[in-house]
């Protein structure tokens, strides 16, 4: 089945809590998972609707074109599935080999992470994405707005 862009006109959770969507042709899709195609660079753009085996059923080109209540439901489902803490402060770092242990404060609390220095990426708009050794992504929305101490640590690895 070839994936195409669709228009979603309705959605709800059934009695088992599964997300059910209906497109403009009347086709109903049960137990689907919305996945942002470009979660960091274009979070409100293309959205892939997948079955529970991660097979793409169809795409939605622009989430803003979806009715507000349905858009809220899809965004809640996406947020449940995509865990990307925002780093607000870097307390200290401990380099070792190609890795660095960072002691950080995020919007979810304080923690320490180990990052391969190759997995620290500059993105557009002063954003930085880091992927720790466990595969968890952390985002710095604007590294220039961080305190001086945090920026100094970042400068070492950018």
Parse the chain into domains and list their residue ranges: 8-81, 87-157
- Mean pLDDT to the nearest integer, 127-152: 91
Given a cut of 70, is residue 2 above it in pLDDT?
no
Digit-coded pLDDT (tens) for 93-125: 999 888 999 999 999 899 999 999 889 988 878
pLDDT at 106: 95
Mean pLDDT of all residues in the chain? 86
Q: How far is CA 21 from the centre of its chain?
A: 21
Residue 142 Cα distances to 6, 55, 62, 87, 98, angstroms: 34, 34, 25, 10, 25
Under 8 Å between Cβ of 81 and 35: yes
Question: pTM for the full model?
Answer: 0.59
């Amino acid at each position: 089945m070839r994936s195409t862009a669709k228009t979603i006109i309705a959605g709800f959770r059934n009695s088992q809590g599964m997300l059910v969507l209906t497109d403009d042709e009347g086709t109903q899709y049960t137990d689907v998972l919305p996945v942002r195609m470009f979660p960091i660079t274009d979070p409100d753009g293309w959205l892939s609707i997948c079955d529970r085996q991660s097979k793409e059923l169809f795409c939605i080109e622009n989430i803003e074109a979806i009715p507000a209540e349905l858009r809220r439901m899809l965004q809640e489902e996406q947020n449940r599935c995509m865990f990307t803490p925002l780093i607000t402060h870097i307390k200290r770092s401990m380099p070792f080999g190609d890795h660095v242990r960072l002691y950080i404060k995020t919007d979810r609390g304080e923690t320490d992470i180990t990052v391969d220095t190759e997995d620290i990426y500059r993105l557009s708009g002063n954003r930085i994405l880091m992927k720790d050794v466990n595969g968890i992504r952390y985002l710095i929305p604007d590294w220039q707005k961080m305190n001086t101490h945090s920026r100094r640590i970042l400068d070492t690895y950018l």
